[in-house]
Structure 1
């Protein structure tokens, strides 16, 4: 059974109170970078893996995508997405990301935001994404950065006065399951290195187009002072690839 924390009431309540859950894409610090990595959406067929509340699905249609399919395992997430969506060209399906099985060339663009680090076998999924993309189709995704996921604790090392001294990095090359703590709950994530992500993409038939470790811009630092600590360690990894 795939992990489905978002259908646990207390976890979903905590998630619903996050800034990005309330404010949408504009409240997600990585969104401006992710948006720049997306290809032209007008006239395309889009698949969103781990669509959550459907923010990216609705954005794609605002950019005149022809149609959008949003996949998520959580019934709670999809119920909220449907409540926020009034568009017959957006279809939501309750399905684990790992279980997608679409025909060849079904989509022009596949996107995924902060969901693939919950997937155990990325290589298998990348092959499925490659299969359902049209030749030249784009695959753009973000995950928690491997520096961030290497240790299950995912927290700073603190000094005697509670100051953040440094971000501990250990067990980087020991890939696999991490039992981490998120929103006051135990959550299973899967750690893999940057090179593993990239090599799995290449082995699946993709060509790498762009890679970002999300260094904050001056504008972001000025408008969101909390992002100062993101200069000390990467939290997100963003990848853009195309089907050769």
Structure 2
């Protein structure tokens, strides 16, 4: 399947299920069972900073930075309806932002060497071309600028719960793509090793500053259903989320 076909499938899918993810996984939350930005402070002081989000979704993470005094707020997302939703949210909150409907693999006209921070919360793994996407991000950043992103831990997606036990449902070593029915619509997911993300960041020229693979128990941790995808039973064995901070 060509990348253009995958992008169309995923765009159509996100345009249909966007309401299920309104404000989900947005800062200060990095992802399921992960420490928050309030605890990690990876971004430090963002006042007067130019900030770009890759995969901005409903726009809530950009609102988070607007409240912290960021200078310019930019975002792009594959989904037309997600961008429309983000624009409406920002208008309601009197926030000025520059938003693009675009695959992250493409540069829709975003200025180069302009941003102090580029970030992506649970979105980077959707890219069909990781090297090209990371090269774009590198170009958008000023020298010394930071790129911070989170994504589902590759080991987590390899586990399944069967007959009372967690088992490896597929090889961690093998990378590839798989079509799934996701929230009732078809989407295409990409299986990549953690080392692939790390090595591609290095290949582009990033200096990696921190990698976080921590399990953060919820405040009210009950005995949830181990068959649920984001289950504390599973998360205590393999972290659902990894976070990387790197610098240009």
TM bin, normalised by shorter chain, reads 0.7 to 0.9
- 2:228 corresponds in structure 1 to none
1:47 Cα deviation after fit: 0.5
Equivalent residue in structure 2 for 1:110, among 110, 118, 121: 118
1:224 Cα deviation after fit: 4.1
Structure 2 CA distance for aligned equivalents of residues 25 and 179 of structure 1 = 28
- 2:236 corresponds in structure 1 to 231
1:48 Cα deviation after fit: 0.4
Q: What is the DSSP-based 3-state SS (H/G/I as helix, E as strand, rest coil) of the residue aligned with 1:135?
A: strand
1:9 Cα deviation after fit: 8.3
Bigger helix fraction? 1
Q: Which runs of 5+ in 1 are unaligned?
A: none
Deviations 1:47-75 (A, max 9, x none): 00110000111111111110111101211
1:211 Cα deviation after fit: 0.8
Q: What is the DSSP-based 3-state SS (H/G/I as helix, E as strand, rest coil) of the residue aligned with 1:97?
A: coil
1:144 Cα deviation after fit: 1.4
Count how many residue pairs are aligned between Structure 1 and Structure 2. 229
Whether the aligned pair in 2 keeps the contact of 1:105 and 1:131 (CA below 8 Å) is: yes
Q: What is the DSSP-based 3-state SS (H/G/I as helix, E as strand, rest coil) of the residue aligned with 1:57?
A: helix
CA distance 1:99–1:197, shift in 2 (3 Å) = same
- 2:63 corresponds in structure 1 to 58
Deviations 1:151-185 (A, max 9, x none): xxxx62321xxx4x104253212212122342233
- 2:106 corresponds in structure 1 to 99
- 2:227 corresponds in structure 1 to none
- 2:78 corresponds in structure 1 to 73
1:8 Cα deviation after fit: 4.6
Structure 1, 129-138 or 185-194: larger mean CA deviation: 185-194
- 1:17 corresponds in structure 2 to 20
Larger RCO: 1 or 2 (CA < 8 Å, sep 6+): 2
Q: What is the DSSP-based 3-state SS (H/G/I as helix, E as strand, rest coil) of the residue aligned with 1:238?
A: strand
Equivalent residue in structure 1 for 2:161, among 157, 162, 168: 157
Structure 1, 30-39 or 80-89: larger mean CA deviation: 30-39
Q: Which runs of 5+ in 2 are unaligned?
A: 225-230
CA distance 1:182–1:148, shift in 2 (3 Å) = farther
TM-score of the two chains, using structure 2 as the length reference: 0.81
Whether the aligned pair in 2 keeps the contact of 1:4 and 1:74 (CA below 8 Å) is: no
Matched, 1:39 2:44: yes
Whether the aligned pair in 1 keeps the contact of 2:33 and 2:240 (CA below 8 Å) is: no
Structure 1 CA distance for aligned equivalents of residues 196 and 26 of structure 2 = 30
- 2:199 corresponds in structure 1 to 199
Whether the aligned pair in 2 keeps the contact of 1:70 and 1:92 (CA below 8 Å) is: yes
- 1:89 corresponds in structure 2 to 96
TM-score of the two chains, using structure 1 as the length reference: 0.82
